[in-house]
Amino acid sequence: MGVEGEKRYALLLACKDSEYVKEVYGGYFNVFVATFGEVGERWDLFRIVEGQFPDMNELQNYDGFVVSGSPYDAYGNDYWILKLCFLLQTLDAMRKKVLGICFGHQVLCRALGGKVGKAYSGWDIGLRKVRIVKDFSPCGFLEGFDDIPPALTIIECHQDEVLEVPVGGEVIAYSDKTSVEMFTIGDHILGIQGHPEYTIDILNNLIDRLLTNGSIEKGFAEDAKSKLEIAEPDRKCWEKICKMFLKGRWN
């Protein structure tokens, strides 16, 4: 039973905890809550990659949902991915706030009628400068947020991307690598290709794992890691953007 007036959010976790993240952070759930959560809120965890989904009769009790990244393809037809697409369509019809991160960004696009696939330019791993579209239609959640810089650095780790946003969707950020870094639908759907929640150490460990399992080459991994030593992501600004979207405020 929740506390009356308590804000309630759900993390739809589409990946399994790595040993590193479990040891250092206690799991990805803690990473997300530390980034997006605030005192006095309730956050529930659903390991959707393992088939754990929220009760459809409970959806109206949530103020917002966050869909995480995943090693799976957003265009795949695994049962849990198809079930997630149906859930996202339901949440869209209810106009519930949904924030999609990386895989979550892509699967939101797919579920709502857009197109996703392999990135034409291959893997993007490391820090990426994302440029905010100057003349996009004002989003409700960004009204009054005047201090967003024209470009922000974010951690990226993906080889798939949004190729075409759904009808009614609007691209609000892009990079020299990826044409759809962020998109919105109304004021209740936000997709972000990068990882606002990631820290440099989490990405370094992920690069090691991708190298070990043969997903990337040694030279590529070394180059990505070397670039992480000379720059930092704009985590505080991304945190503000995500909190403004989910809650209408950031402090």
Identify the helix (H) or strand (E) that includes residue 34: helix 28-36
List domains and CATH numbers for the chain: 8-247 (3.40.50.880)
CA 18 to the chain's CA centroid: 17
Provide the strand spans (E) within the chain. 8-12, 42-46, 64-67, 97-101, 115-118, 124-132, 151-158, 160-164, 169-174, 182-185, 189-192
Q: Exposed e or buried b for every residue in 76-99, given b needs 16+ CB within 10 A? A: eeeebbeebbebbeebbeeebbbb
CA dihedral 216, 222, 150, 132 (to 10 degrees): 0
Query: Is residue 197 among the annotated active site residues?
Result: yes
What pLDDT score does 61 carry?
97
Catalytic residue among 102, 109, 157, 242: 102
Q: What is the pLDDT of residues 95-144, one digit of tens each?
A: 999 999 999 999 999 999 999 999 988 999 999 999 988 665 555 566 65
* Residue in the block written with tokens 């393992």: 50
What pLDDT score does 54 carry?
98
User: Model pTM?
Assistant: 0.93
Residue spans of the chain under pLDDT 50:
1, 251
Catalytic residue among 181, 195, 222, 237: 195
What pLDDT score does 4 carry?
63
What pLDDT score does 1 carry?
47
Measured between alpha carbons, how far is residue 167 from residues 110, 113, 171 in Å?
A: 11, 7, 11
Query: Is residue 188 among the annotated active site residues?
Result: no
Q: What is the pLDDT of residues 81-100, one digit of tens each?
A: 999 999 999 999 999 999 99
Query: Is residue 195 among the annotated active site residues?
Result: yes
Catalytic residue among 181, 188, 197, 242: 197
